[in-house]
Amino acid sequence: MSDCIFCKIAAKQIPTQVVYEDTDVLAFKDINPKAPTHLLVIPKKHIEKLSDLQPADAELGGKMLLAVGKIAEHIGIKDAGFRVVINNGKFAGQEVFHLHFHVLGGKQMSWNPA
């Protein structure tokens, strides 16, 4: 996707603060953090949103979830706890249509929509 900002970040065409990378997954700092720690975990491959994941993406989805735990341990937010948010589509407030997990930590979360 030539006009997708997260594809450009994955391709290193736009600089960002990378905190984790493997062959399929990238994690970087959110440009407008809503918590002391606010990271975005993305697949390098363009997938618009969570509900577009296909059975063939099962391994990729698992790698993204495993990356969250590895990152949380590495940056020291695992024991205190953290929140993972996925906005899927318009009603959820998704603004960037390239799948991403928000990883929020470093403070007590005060709002629990679930």
Q: Answer yes or no: 100 catalytic.
A: yes
Q: Are 67 and 59 in contact (CB under 8 A)?
A: no
Please report, for residues 33, 71, 90, 93, 112, the alpha-carbon distance to residue 10 in angstroms, rounded to integers and kept in the order given. Answer: 19, 17, 23, 22, 31
| Interface segment toward Zn ion; rule CB under 5 A; list 13-21, 44-52, 61-69, 80-88 | 44-52
Phi, psi (deg, nearest 5) at residue 5: -65, -35
Contact status: 80 vs Zn ion (CB under 5 A): no
| 66 lines the binding site for Zn ion (CB under 5 A) | no
31 binds ligand AMP (CB under 6 A): yes
Q: How crowded is the C-beta side of 111, counted as CA atoms within 13 Å?
A: 6
Binding mask 8-27 for ligand AMP (x = CB under 6 A): ------x-x-----------
Q: Return the number of the residue (49 or 78) whose C-beta is nearest Zn ion.
A: 49
* Cα(42)–Cα(109) distance, integer angstroms: 22
Binding region for ligand AMP (CB under 6 A): 5, 14, 16, 30-32, 40, 87, 93-96
Instruction: Please identify every residue annotated as catalytic.
Output: 100
